[in-house]
Structure 1
Amino acid sequence: MIDGRKILELHFDGISQRTISASTGHSRNTVSDVIQRATERGIDSLEDRMTKKWLYEFLFPEREPMEKGYHPVDFEMIHKELQKKNVTLKLLHHEYCSTARDAGRIPYAYRSFTEKYGSYAKKYKLTMPIRRKPGEVLEVDWAGATLKIMDSAAGEEIEAYVFVAALPYSQYFYAEAFLDMKSQSWLTAHVHAFEYFGGAPRRWSRTTSRPESRSIAEATHR
């Protein structure tokens, strides 16, 4: 078994990969692979729980199944399937278990399945910067969830719809609740947002549905 802990201990102490290879008996390719995988998975220091066995399973999840008789998981396929609508890890685990049993192998339990996928997914950067200029665009929409307002006169709760406007460059935002999502409320919300920000952007963009971007002049003349 690869001694990932010893390799990383020496690496974090500033020892060269050539020296680590000679010291641990592992090839330079193995040493480089361990360091690269640890970097991709966000390991920049060692903790007590990171034993030799723990690190091997964490850094080389694809090798463990064959060694222990478990059915291997195609994590690349899992990652791609999760991008599809209504696909969950629970569903994919159920399909994986069926495939494993058909192949006469042992499937991972759901907890192990999700932990191993989580380790694999760390190599992907899930965020991407969106470059904006100050005051260039205002992103607006109705929030997905509604609020409840108590009508003290009638003694009953009334649904309130929340309008949100955000300036992505500065991350300033404005929010206001309305009793409906009709055109008048939509226009009023925009006027109040512009008053709050002290001006108007070059254009606005609705954040849901299809991308929609209009200049302020176009919006006000419709």
Structure 2
Amino acid sequence: LKRPGVTLQLLWEEYAKGNDLAFKYTSFCVKYRQWAMGLKRSMRQTHIAGEKLFVDYAGQTVPLIDALTGEITKAQIFVATFGASNYTYACATARQTTADWIGAQVLALEYFGGAPRLIVPDQTRSLIKNPCSYDPQNNRLYEEFAAHYGCALLAARPAHPRDKPKVENAVLVVERWILARLRNRKFFSLMELNHAIALLLNDLNQRAFKKLPGNRRSAFEQLDLPALRPLPAKRFELFRWKSAKVNIDYHVEFDGHYYSVPHTLVRTTVELRASDTLLECYSSNQRVACHAVSHQRGAHTTTPEHMPASHRAHLEWTPQKLIDWGLHIGVSTAAVVTWQLEHRSHPEQGYRACLGLQRLARDYTPVRLEAACTRALAIRSLTYRSVASILKTGLDRQQNLPTMTPVALPLHENIRGSDYFH
């Protein structure tokens, strides 16, 4: 009877088939009950309205066919039921990952229109970080989910199905009344399958009880629903957690993109918490950075406030600002700055050369830099190295500027005279 879909009726039919001396069904059931009386006793559980929601996955799966390739995958069937009313929710997920488990529970709470005080899951690795019969440690994301909806988590003991007989029974009911009816249908997407499950789920919850008045739906409305906590205005958003070491450029990598954190955290390890749209960085349980998620692999997202002051100043420079700074020193310096910006293959090379000139102004004074730039213009050598060499050797202090001596060209028929250009 522990196997999916197996009932006493089925066992009796298999037993009686071809056996003329077989007990009648009623006698068979009496014999079974007598045998069951000798089994280990179990405690009857009393369920308080709105207190416990039991969750689990069914053992049976549903084939999903890829319409393009014909590949078949197995959809997993999630089941949730209330202890007091037996009101049941079911849906299909692609797998049984942490995201699948929590996403299905979010949908379940929205289906019920409220949250219970306790959720009782299996001790699956997807939800429980460290399984234990007495003090299991929940997954961090699962804890956040429970806190968002104001629920506590009470995982059932491993290998103790009697801790959650309600959901075990609900799984059997879903397998018999929903999955059995869908066994001959073909499904090509989770959306299509979930639509079919939803239609049959409504029928299941409105089926009349055999021994009690009403049905699961009416019992839920009378018992559980009034006792549920209201849902928060915003649906719980699934996050991923990841530990990352801060690189020397004060960025951390997540899914191939690089995000900045305060430069003081270089070479430390931070915790990253990412949703589909937002990435948060935590250090010592304090949020230190927040970025919009980017899917541009290899690129960087940088907040200027995370940079050292010197790097931030470099970032803020523009060509016009650099030229204005040069003019503040003198016209020769401005001419050398302009040359750096116009004669480099990449603008960043010009920026770095200009920042080098600023360093020279601090090391040798602006007056000497202007004199060195004047000499560099005179000798037509305007590179940063040339200006730095002039200052290092003290040539900027020489009064007489070098004169450019014309180079005598040999007479040759291929050399053009001045008249050629008029």
Q: Which is higher, the Rg of structure 1 or of structure 2?
A: 2
Greater relative contact order (Cα < 8 A, sep 6+): 1
Q: TM-score, normalised by structure 2?
A: 0.23
